[in-house]
Structure 1
Amino acid sequence: MSGRGLTHGRAVWLMVCVTLMWATAGVVTRHLEHARSFEVTFWRSFFTLVSLVVILPLWQGRAVFAKLRQGGRELWISGVCWSVMFTAFMVALTLTSVANVLVTMALGPLLTALGARIFIGHKLPARTWAAIVVAGLGIGWMYGTQLGEGQLLGTLVALCVPLAGACNWTVVQHAHAKGHDIDLVPAVLIGAAISTLVTLPLAWPFQANAHDLGLLAFLGLFQLAIPCVLSVLCARVLKAPEVALLALLEVIFGIALAWIGAGEEPEPSVLTGGALVIGALVFNELLGLRERRDASRQALTAAR
């Protein structure tokens, strides 16, 4: 299974399917009967780990395990970042609404750009600075309205996801700049293993019944492990701005599924803040995509 033979159009539709699979986490979590907080995180990470241990050798061969030993410091830092994302995401879903979590996670691309500016020295265009300001206003509005509603803690926990993601991609970009590419798939495996080990003592004693375990196994395999592998394939065909734009569908799908499937209607403040965040991201990525296309055309014209 590789990205060869995957056309651009098929990659787009495959990425749409990936975002739909990612978006099932919120609605599935709302149908758990007994599992709570860290136990939810433990079981999802455990089933993700088991799934990847089976899937990755079939995909990349047994050499994938050798990469764990040869990946170096950056690979393990990336793995720790993935473990924070896995853990914080599921814990946040048990503390606040699906919409709050997903809108907060949508800050990832902008925080990544900011991290690259601070730690690597990447220059940010004016459009990205403007997007960061607008998205910050949207998140600030959303957070401010939650101060007296008891959901602020969950939203702050959710903020750990894009922060860890920004750290992860900054490490990957820094390693790439030094000529050391990181295979993100083994890093995801490391993240699942760390999350499983860290949350095990916090999840004890277990309360999940067979119904809960079935749902959490679904999350581990179909909501995380499989779409993780598919997204890597898509990223080999699609440009980064295209992936960033398509990934935003997770926010829309996730809120819609939680609303339809669990009756969780988003608050007006979340919709307002989310509109600002997503609008800023879409505007930034579309302009970036157009700039790259214009630059490519100019290069082709000059070459002629």
Structure 2
Amino acid sequence: MKLTHSRAVFLMILVTMMWSIAGVVTRHLESARSFEVTFWRSFFTVVSLLVILPFFQGRAVFSKIRNGGLAFWLSGVCWSMMFTAFMVALTLTTVANVLVTMAVSPFITALLARAFIGHKIPARTWLAIAMAGAGIAWMYGGQMDLSSHIGGTLVALMVPLASASNWTVVQHSRAHGKNVDLVPAVLLGAVISTLATLPLSLPFSATAHDVGLLALLGLVQLAIPCVLSVMCAGVLKAPEVALLALLEVIFGILLAWFGAGEVPGASVLTGGALVIGALVVNELIGWRQRA
């Protein structure tokens, strides 16, 4: 599918809305915990992608996996780290803590993109990152409780590190004109995550209710949006993708608030407004300049 910049922006917003349901859904699990939560979600992601990818790309998708180069394998490893760390972190701390910690991604992404692929980041994007950073810092100070959630915070920090590395790999391969389809890397990441967490999940304790919810996450919260996000990465620059991905923080906290009773503090609402404002200003200025 050929994406314009405007369509890619809209699609990334939709992707963040789909990503954001993970927190509220996991709060309604009955007995599944920790690595078993990750295993079932990754397993159903694999099943979903085995249907989705051949439908859009035909059987050639499997040859692309067999012949994938270094960028493909690096992206797959990054996806697996993101899949695993995110779900484990949600079982160790609050949704707000996980999402706020993940929101450092734009800073890491901008640094890696500048250092490894020489992206010249526009002044407007740096300003937006600074504004978003101020909002995140405000949310961070009001939400983070390191004394009781240090484990979950450290695990959650692995997600933006892997995400920044992943987007940089995607952009680097595009910049060098390599005909590498990194969409199947999402499938590879899900396979690695499934295999890695299986022995840590035994014996299973999930109920049928839990498995149904995790199957929903595997398809709607992970398989579909991750494929779409990789497509968007081919059009948007890495810092833009990272900034738009911050909307997951806002959507996720709101869903956990209304759907699971995890009430955010005033700092979350104030900081979230600043983050959204930074995103809107950045994109509006960008559209005006291109016009």
Change (3 A) 1:150 1:170: same
* Range with bigger deviation, 195-204 or 57-66: 195-204
1:99-248 matched pairs, under 5 angstroms:
99-144=96-141, 146-147=144-145, 149-231=147-229, 247-248=245-246
**Conserved? CA contact 1:127–1:284, under 8 Å:** yes
Query: What letter matches 1:61 in structure 2?
Result: G
Q: What fraction of aligned residue pairs are identical, expressed as a percent?
A: 73
Change (3 A) 1:179 1:230: closer
> TM-score scaled to structure 2, two decimals?
0.85
**Conserved? CA contact 1:103–1:274, under 8 Å:** no
Q: Distance in 2 between matches of 1:272 and 1:160?
A: 26
Shift of 1:48: 0.3
Q: Distance in 2 between matches of 1:87 and 1:284?
A: 31
Shift of 1:107: 3.3
**Conserved? CA contact 2:100–2:140, under 8 Å:** no
**Correspondence 1:61 to 2:58:** yes
**Correspondence 1:252 to 2:250:** yes
Change (3 A) 1:15 1:59: same
* Range with bigger deviation, 142-151 or 171-180: 142-151
Asked which structure has the greater CA Rg, the reply is 1
Match of residue 72, structure 1, among 69, 73, 90: 69
**Conserved? CA contact 2:170–2:233, under 8 Å:** no
Match of residue 263, structure 2, among 239, 257, 265: 265
Runs of at least 5 residues in structure 2 that lack an aligned partner in the other structure: none
Q: Distance in 2 between matches of 1:126 and 1:198?
A: 42
Tell me the SS of whatever aligns to 1:196.
Answer: helix
Change (3 A) 1:173 1:50: same
CA deviations over 1:217-268 (Å, ceiling 9, x no partner): 11111211123344456667x7558866654443332222111111111133
Look up the match of 2:78. 81
Runs of at least 5 residues in structure 1 that lack an aligned partner in the other structure: 294-304
> TM-score scaled to structure 1, two decimals?
0.81
Shift of 1:152: 3.5
**Conserved? CA contact 1:49–1:192, under 8 Å:** yes
CA deviations over 1:262-283 (Å, ceiling 9, x no partner): 1111133444444444444444
Query: What letter matches 1:206 in structure 2?
Result: F
* Range with bigger deviation, 141-150 or 83-92: 141-150
**Conserved? CA contact 1:106–1:278, under 8 Å:** no
Change (3 A) 1:181 1:144: farther
Shift of 1:133: 4.2
* Range with bigger deviation, 187-196 or 144-153: 144-153
Match of residue 29, structure 2, among 14, 27, 32: 32
Look up the match of 1:298. none
**Conserved? CA contact 1:102–1:251, under 8 Å:** yes
Query: What letter matches 1:66 in structure 2?
Result: S
Query: What letter matches 1:22 in structure 2?
Result: W
Shift of 1:108: 2.7
**Conserved? CA contact 1:89–1:161, under 8 Å:** yes
1:85-100 matched pairs, under 5 angstroms:
85-100=82-97
**Conserved? CA contact 2:100–2:139, under 8 Å:** no
Query: What letter matches 2:217 in structure 1?
Result: L
Change (3 A) 1:7 1:181: closer
**Conserved? CA contact 2:15–2:229, under 8 Å:** yes
RMSD of Structure 2 on Structure 1 (CA):
3.0
**Conserved? CA contact 2:106–2:129, under 8 Å:** no
Change (3 A) 1:118 1:216: same
Q: Distance in 2 between matches of 1:178 and 1:235?
A: 15
